[in-house]
Amino acid sequence: MSPADLSVDLGRGLVLPNPILVASGTFGYGIEYGDVVEVDRLGGICCKGTTLQPRIGNITPRVTETPGGMLNSIGLQNPGVDAVVAKYAGTWAGWKTPVIVNVAGESVEDYVEVVQRLEGVSGVAGIELNISCPNVGRGGLQFAIDAGAAGEVTAAVRRATDLPLLVKLSPNVGDVRPIARAIADAGADALTAINTLSGIALAPSRRKPLLGNIYGGLSGPAIKPVALRIVYEVSQVVDIPVVAIGGVTELADVLDFLAVGAVAVQVGTAIFADPTLPVRLVDELTDECERRGIASYAELVGTALPPKPGAPSSKGVEYRP
């Protein structure tokens, strides 16, 4: 039997060779790990969050370990979209692995402008919108916490580009489903779930928060149950593909996320401990499919979701007394 088909279609022509991606912010621009990681074997690379203008990011400390996870508050440090394209796109164009540029902004116009500058750039396979940013036009409220704002920025970006478009959901909301639906209705090709959970840690003296920015985003195994719940909820209310992220450290986590409806999985924080993990997960998923005797990993998707209510049955008519 030939190896199982691991390819995944995220829409608009973005076909990944396998469903294991590396998450934005944990893998730089794909070059930092050098020979330690075989980037050509990854399913996709989501690069560091990219903005219109260069950003120096937040004051330090920016990271700290927490039980089963870590908090980070990098503050979107990046050299700006033009520098990112000039410096890295040429390298990306030579890779088999699709590079998805993670895009952030403080206004709808910011997002649109960044995306327009990525349109048609060789080496850029898609866009992932980070909408967990304060929306200056709406008093600093995050796009991600409001269905209207999330839909608006998605629609504006959709009009501005033909690139495959993923939108990354924030878990820091009451009910994520209306937001997910609004983003899907606005023309996103796929959803990424989830971004980090907002949290704080204290300095050892307990006289102040530890991180320079006070707040940080929690990631790592600690957040996996939250991510699993959100993917479970979202994949039942949208028809577009869902890419899961949150605490993946082993194959069992990948299988869990597939079972609740994700078609692909991003590995993030775990890369810091084990940079070779994502490539190993590709091998382990291949082996798992072989062990189960299935031709495509797609058969593992959605097995834990409740059955969708189908058309009303006519059988009852026959047996009506």
Q: Does residue number 198 form part of the binding site for another protein (CB under 8 A)?
A: no
Judged by CB under 8 A, which of 80, 137, 212, 302 binds another protein?
212
Q: Which is nearer to another protein, 128 or 146 (CB)?
A: 128
For residue 295, give every residue at least 6 positions away whose Cβ sits within 8 Å of its Cβ, in sequence order, or none.
1, 4, 5, 289
Q: How far is the CB of 310 from another protein (least distance, A)?
A: 42
Report residue 296 as tokens.
């495509």
Task: Using alpha carbons, list the distances in angstroms from residue 62 to 20, 201, 215, 263, 283.
Answer: 27, 11, 10, 32, 33
Q: How far is the CB of 222 from another protein (least distance, A)?
A: 8
Judged by CB under 8 A, which of 15, 56, 93, 214 binds another protein?
56
Q: Does residue number 203 form part of the binding site for another protein (CB under 8 A)?
A: no
Q: Does residue number 33 form part of the binding site for another protein (CB under 8 A)?
A: yes
Task: Establish whether 133 is a catalytic residue.
Answer: yes
Q: How far apart are the first and last CA of the chain?
A: 52
Q: Which is nearer to another protein, 72 or 135 (CB)?
A: 72
Q: Which is nearer to another protein, 135 or 269 (CB)?
A: 269
Give how far the C-alpha of residue 163 lies from the chain's centroid of Cα atoms, to the nearest Å.
16
Q: Does residue number 249 form part of the binding site for another protein (CB under 8 A)?
A: yes
Annotate 287-314 with DSSP letters as a single string: HHHHHHT-SBGGGGTTTTSPPPP-SPPS
Strands 99-103 and 126-130 come out as parallel
Report residue 129 as tokens.
């919108």
Q: Which is nearer to another protein, 60 or 116 (CB)?
A: 60
User: Of all helices (H) and strands (E), which one includes residue 155?
Assistant: helix 147-160
d(CA 133, CA 180) in angstroms, rounded, equals 16
List the interface residues with another protein, window 254-273 (CB under 8 A).
269-273
Q: Does residue number 41 form part of the binding site for another protein (CB under 8 A)?
A: no
Judged by CB under 8 A, which of 4, 18, 21, 26 binds another protein?
26
For residue 236, give every residue at least 6 positions away whose Cβ sits within 8 Å of its Cβ, in sequence order, or none.
261, 305, 306, 308
DSSP category for residue 55: B
DSSP category for residue 42: S
Number of chain residues interacting with another protein (CB under 8 A): 38
Angle value at C-alpha 161, between 158 and 165, nearest 5 degrees? 60
Q: How far is the CB of 63 from another protein (least distance, A)?
A: 4
d(CA 74, CA 56) in angstroms, rounded, equals 9
Query: What is the contact mask toward another protein in residues 95 to 124, using x (rule: CB under 8 A)?
Result: ------------------------------
Q: Which is nearer to another protein, 98 or 217 (CB)?
A: 217
Q: Which is nearer to another protein, 29 or 232 (CB)?
A: 29
Judged by CB under 8 A, which of 11, 57, 187, 209 binds another protein?
57
d(CA 114, CA 254) in angstroms, rounded, equals 32
User: Annotated catalytic sites, by residue?
Assistant: 133
Binding residues for another protein, rule: CB under 8 A, are 25-28, 32-36, 48, 56-57, 59-65, 67-70, 72, 74, 77, 212, 220-221, 249, 269-276
